[in-house]
């Protein structure tokens, strides 16, 4: 698949950060982008910036934590535009969930958005893509999904769900023209990471991260983790014995930012 393969795209979580950047990146390449998020004012600003750049970005007010409404809204968009070629489940919630004082209300929000919301977003037009025998589903996961990181039980687990969900879809869709991509960013300078107090190795600027994500989508990568240094370290971490992992992770990932 290449740039010309996409006439239309839906990007959730598009009011800021990676979602906003990716919506604009696709729009500048001739794709009609439906930019979905809760914050309408932010979406309107994005649409104005896109118009000034000669791109077409259409604001869509959407809260993916309401799964049934998300399904209905995305299916209506699919019908109205003659078929979505690309769906990017990018909307996500971060934040700490320390087991010593576990914040269930926040953990529930993480699960509603990162798990149920992402699954609803990706499932909404999947049957129609299969019928059309074309389309591309993309989920934005995280390198934090590789293991259970300290103070991130809900977030790490929610992204691990997305990894496995996308992998199963990819296997099922083998032999069709419906592509599935799982993108796993490391630390990126966005609204979501602004509050993080611990060290963030290989922190990327948002524009650089968006470029890497966009190119991975165009290549229809099955999985893509970045930056490569962090992705490689995470690959090694999968095989580290639990006793060693627990000791190292609890110290390194809690180290204050310098």
Burial class (CB in 10 A: 0-12, 13-18, 19+), 120: buried
Return the half-sphere exposure (C-beta side, CA atoms, 13 A cut-off) of residue 191.
Answer: 12
Cα distances (Å, whole numbers) of residue 6 to 78, 97, 124, 149: 13, 38, 18, 36
Cα separation, 65 vs 13, whole angstroms: 11
pLDDT of 245 strictly over 90: no
CB atoms within 10 A of CB 66: 15
Question: What Rg, from alpha-carbon coordinates, does the chain have?
Answer: 18
Tens of pLDDT, residue by residue over 24-66, are 999 999 999 999 999 999 999 999 999 999 999 999 999 999 9
Structure confidence at residue 66 (pLDDT) = 97
Return the half-sphere exposure (C-beta side, CA atoms, 13 A cut-off) of residue 66.
Answer: 10
Q: Is 133 helix (H, G, I), strand (E, B) or coil?
A: coil
pLDDT of 13 strictly over 70: yes
Cα separation, 163 vs 168, whole angstroms: 9
Cα separation, 73 vs 174, whole angstroms: 27
Q: Is 94 helix (H, G, I), strand (E, B) or coil?
A: coil
Tens of pLDDT, residue by residue over 65-122, are 999 999 999 999 999 999 999 999 999 999 889 999 999 999 999 999 999 999 999 9
Structure confidence at residue 4 (pLDDT) = 44
155 is catalytic: yes
Percent of the chain with pLDDT over 70: 91
Which residue in 6, 34, 155, 224 is the catalytic one? 155
Cα separation, 22 vs 139, whole angstroms: 13
Structure confidence at residue 2 (pLDDT) = 46
Q: Determine the average pLDDT of the residues in 226-252.
A: 87
Percent of the chain with pLDDT over 90: 76
Are the C-beta atoms of residues 132 and 177 closer than 8 Å to each other?
no
Which alpha helices (H) appear in the chain, and where do they start and end?
Answer: 17-27, 40-52, 67-81, 104-111, 118-123, 126-132, 153-172, 206-218, 228-237, 242-252
């Amino acid at each position: 698949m290449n740039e010309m393969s996409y006439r239309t795209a839906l990007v959730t979580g598009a009011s800021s950060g990676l979602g906003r950047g990716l919506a604009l990146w696709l729009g500048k390449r001739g794709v009609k982008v439906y930019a979905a998020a809760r914050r309408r004012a932010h979406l309107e600003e994005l649409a104005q910036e896109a118009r000034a750049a000669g791109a077409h970005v259409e604001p869509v007010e959407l809260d993916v934590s309401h799964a049934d409404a998300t399904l209905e809204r995305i299916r209506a968009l699919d019908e109205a535009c003659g078929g979505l070629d690309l769906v990017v489940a990018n909307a996500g919630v971060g934040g700490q969930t320390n087991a010593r004082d576990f914040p269930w209300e926040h953990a529930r929000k993480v699960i509603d958005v990162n798990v149920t919301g992402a699954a609803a977003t990706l499932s909404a037009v999947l049957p129609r893509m299969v019928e059309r025998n074309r389309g591309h589903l993309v989920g934005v996961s995280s390198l934090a999904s590789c293991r259970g990181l300290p103070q991130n039980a809900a977030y790490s687990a929610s992204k691990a769900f997305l990894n496995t969900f996308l992998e199963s879809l990819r296997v099922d869709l083998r032999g069709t023209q419906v592509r599935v991509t799982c993108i796993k960013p490391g630390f990126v300078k966005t609204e979501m990471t602004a509050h993080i107090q611990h060290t963030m190795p290989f922190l990327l600027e948002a524009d650089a991260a968006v470029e890497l994500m966009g190119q991975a989508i165009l290549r229809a990568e099955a999985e893509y983790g970045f930056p490569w240094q962090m992705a490689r370290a995470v690959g090694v971490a999968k095989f580290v014995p639990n006793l060693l992992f627990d000791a190292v992770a609890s110290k390194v990932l809690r180290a204050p930012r310098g």
